[in-house]
Amino acid sequence: MNSALPRPLVRFTGVQKTYDGLSLVVRSLDLEIQRGEFLSLLGPSGSGKTTTLMMLAGFESPTAGDILLDGAPITRTPPHKRNFGMVFQNYALFPHLSVGDNVAYPLTVRKVPKAEIATRVAKALSMVQLDGKADRFPGQLSGGQQQRVALARALVFEPQLVLMDEPLGALDKQLREHMQIELKELHRQLGVTFVYVTHDQGEALTMSDRVAVFNDGEIQQIDRVDRLYETPSNRFVAGFVGDST
């Protein structure tokens, strides 16, 4: 191996996915996710972004190809053994548990000692600016606050990789823009790897280090934001990225 090149955290090689045995919704995906980057998967509805994220999370299996984590295949590793943080729009909080217990949940199931749980929950809540809210219940919080709790829950076990699927989709525009800035800042502070699915060009371009532009089950271009603007690789990328205003 060439030691000058850092090994990517994740590598997809020749990954394909069909749900019905006929049409490929992910055609042939070769994708490298670099350690510490904020990577967005951007594209129109139905282009295969969520399927790609679900395969990375382990909730869907590729029909062909492999997914490697740190060079080791995880293609058949179940989700709970992958140890990724996850924030999905439909990945709701437990309404009957307090905010603190919601955030503690990933540590409780991992049988972390109680004293350590308390420290880590306080730290995670502070990270998302919800200090002092541990005893509230989700129903007592605003949409934005609830999404921050979900984020704290995803970060509390200090995962190396955090997967997010349209996590801000349910929020109004003003709150969404505020949360985008917060997420970007949190990513900078933590230095962990974020993979973020969105169909919103502005969102992807505001937050990401790199963007993978999907269309029709394929990545059209994966590049830094400035390069997507300056040197789009085809008409689709130029049109879709250029449509962000």
Residues that bind ligand ADP (CB under 6 A): 19, 25, 43, 45-51
Give, for 102, the enclosing helix (H) or strand (E).
helix 99-109
Shortest Cβ 57–ligand ADP spacing (Å): 12
Shortest Cβ 169–ligand ADP spacing (Å): 12
Q: Which is nearer to ligand ADP, 47 or 208 (CB)?
A: 47
Q: Which is nearer to ligand ADP, 91 or 94 (CB)?
A: 91
Q: What is the DSSP string of 21-42?
A: SSSEEEEEEEEEE-TT-EEEEE
Contact 149, 141 (CB under 8 A): yes
Please report, to the nearest 10 degrees, the dihedral formed by the alpha carbons of residues 149, 193, 106, 139 taken in order: 10
Q: Which is nearer to ligand ADP, 64 or 109 (CB)?
A: 64
Shortest Cβ 45–ligand ADP spacing (Å): 4
Neighbouring CB atoms inside 10 A of 154's CB total: 22
Q: Look up tokens 């995880």; give the residue.
A: 74
Shortest Cβ 156–ligand ADP spacing (Å): 26
**Widest CA span in the chain:** 56
Q: Which is nearer to ligand ADP, 51 or 147 (CB)?
A: 51
Shortest Cβ 60–ligand ADP spacing (Å): 8
Q: Which is nearer to ligand ADP, 31 or 155 (CB)?
A: 31
Q: Look up tokens 């230095």; give the residue.
A: 191
Q: Token digits for 166?
A: 């349209």
